[in-house]
Amino acid sequence: MELVTPEIGLVFWTTVSFLILFFLLAKFAWKPIMKAIDERERSIEDALLKADAAKEEMSRLTNENEALLKQARAERDQILAEARKLKEQIVAEARTTAQTEGARMLELARIEINNQKALALTDVKNQVAALSLEIAEKVLRKEFEDGSKQDALVADLLKEVKLK
């Protein structure tokens, strides 16, 4: 039973050595250990506070970035709308100008065609008149080769003419 129940001397010396060790630890090691633990606890708290601050800053920056993106998208949409409007206006102006120019060119072509037609008709009339005169002259020469026919024609013409 010796193994189960310790002797009084062993208990005494164990207690004395424990108290000496406790005193030495309390005197020399306890304060630095507690100080290190306190510093570690403070550094962890500071790190947590800084992490929270960084998280809040990231949240704020994210919100600002989203606001800037919304603003940029709105500006982009406005610029695109203005560009479309300007394109439509330019196309409409070009179409109007082309129609006006086309109508003007058609009118000039009509006038030119009418002028050329009038010139052609005048030329044809002149040629017909010249041919008619030539034919009449040839016919009259043939008719008037004989002098008696000329006298008869002059007499007939004088009968028709009435003096007033």
Give the pLDDT score at 13: 92
pLDDT, position 2: 61
How far, in Å, are 84, 153, 162 from residue 123 at the CA level? 57, 33, 37
Q: Which pLDDT belongs to residue 159?
A: 78
Tokens, residue 38? 């306190």
Buried b (16+ CB within 10 A) or exposed e, 39-64: eeeeeeeeeeeeeeeeeeeeeeeeee
What is the pLDDT, as a whole number, of residue 163?
58
pLDDT in tens, the chain (164 residues): 566 777 888 889 999 999 999 999 888 888 888 899 999 999 999 999 999 999 999 999 999 999 999 999 999 999 999 999 999 999 999 999 999 999 999 999 999 999 999 999 998 888 888 888 888 777 777 777 777 777 777 777 777 776 55
Degrees (nearest 5) of the Cα angle 72, 73, 75? Answer: 65
